[in-house]
Structure 1
Amino acid sequence: MKQILIFVLFAAMLCWLMFSPIYKHVLIVRQAVLQQEVNYLLEIGASGSYGYISEAMLQQSRERIARFGMQPDEILYELSTTNGVAATNPGAPVLRGAGISLTMSYPYENLFEIDRLIGLTPPAQDERLRAFGMKMSEYVP
């Protein structure tokens, strides 16, 4: 009986040690992809040519992120400006000197479920990875 218990505990620890680092790397890559996309959208959107981040830009962003195996429908974008105007309106771009901030989030998708084997509590289902960035608009009419 004692040997069976040791075997079960050893097997659980072995599974966790083998697969946990893989999931951690997936998490790190997803966080990096989100942050890179935030930086890219802000660089383009706050440039002197645009002054906004349109819905078309967000759709292209979803397509780029889908190439990394993430679900495009699960990505949430939160845009705001320091002067209160809409950052998504091509008809009224954010003028130079106002900041455009973008937050992207994506669910963890049960990446931490294997941690239950060693007694760690994974994040709740509604918790999400987040990437944030802010850039001053360079648009001059």
Structure 2
Amino acid sequence: MKQILVFVLFAAMLCWAMFAPTYKHVVLFRQAMLQKEVDYMLEIGANASHGYVDEAAFEASRQRLARHGFETSRLEYAVSATSGEDASNPSSPILRGTGIELTIAYPYDGMLDIDRLIGIAPPGASSRISASGLKMSEYVP
């Protein structure tokens, strides 16, 4: 009985040691892709000819991220201005000197559930990977 218990515990530890680094790399890759996308969208949205990040930019971003394995329906975008104005309205761009903040979130999809084998509680079902950034608008009317 003791040997069976040792075998089961050893097998669980071996599975975790073999597969956990792979899942962690996927999480890191997703985080890096989200941050890269935030930086790109802010660079375009805060330039002198825009001053906003609108729904068309969100849709283009969803398509770019879909090419890297993200499910577009699960991506959440939030954009705001440091002044409290609507930073997603093309008819009222954010003026120069005001910050535009963008956040993109995506669920973990249970990728860290394997950590339960060694007693680490994975993130909850509603937990999300997120990336955010802030860039000052350069728009001048």
TM-score by length of 1: 0.97
Question: Cα RMSD over matched residues?
Answer: 0.8
Q: Secondary structure at the match of 1:20?
A: helix
Which residue pairs with 1:83 in the alignment?
A: 83
TM-score by length of 2: 0.97
d(CA) in 1 for partners of 2:113, 2:11: 16
Is 2:37 aligned against 1:37? yes
Which residue pairs with 1:58 in the alignment?
A: 58
Structure 2: gaps spanning 5 or more residues? none
Give runs of aligned pairs for residues 7-46 of structure 1, distance below 5 A.
7-46=7-46
Which residue pairs with 1:138 in the alignment?
A: 138
Aligned length: 141
Which residue pairs with 1:118 in the alignment?
A: 118
- Segments ≥4 residues shifted beyond 3 Å: none
Identity %: 58
Which residue pairs with 1:98 in the alignment?
A: 98
Which residue pairs with 2:68 in the alignment?
A: 68
Which residue pairs with 1:2 in the alignment?
A: 2
Q: Secondary structure at the match of 1:77?
A: strand
d(CA) in 2 for partners of 1:106, 1:52: 22
Q: Secondary structure at the match of 1:111?
A: coil
Note the alpha carbon deviations across 1:32-76, whole angstroms, 9 max, x for none: 011000000000000001111110110000111111111111111
d(CA) in 2 for partners of 1:134, 1:35: 12
Note the alpha carbon deviations across 1:56-105, whole angstroms, 9 max, x for none: 11000011111111111111111110122211111111111111001111
Note the alpha carbon deviations across 1:92-121, whole angstroms, 9 max, x for none: 111111110011111111011101111111
Structure 1: gaps spanning 5 or more residues? none
Structure 2 residue identity aligned to 1:12? A
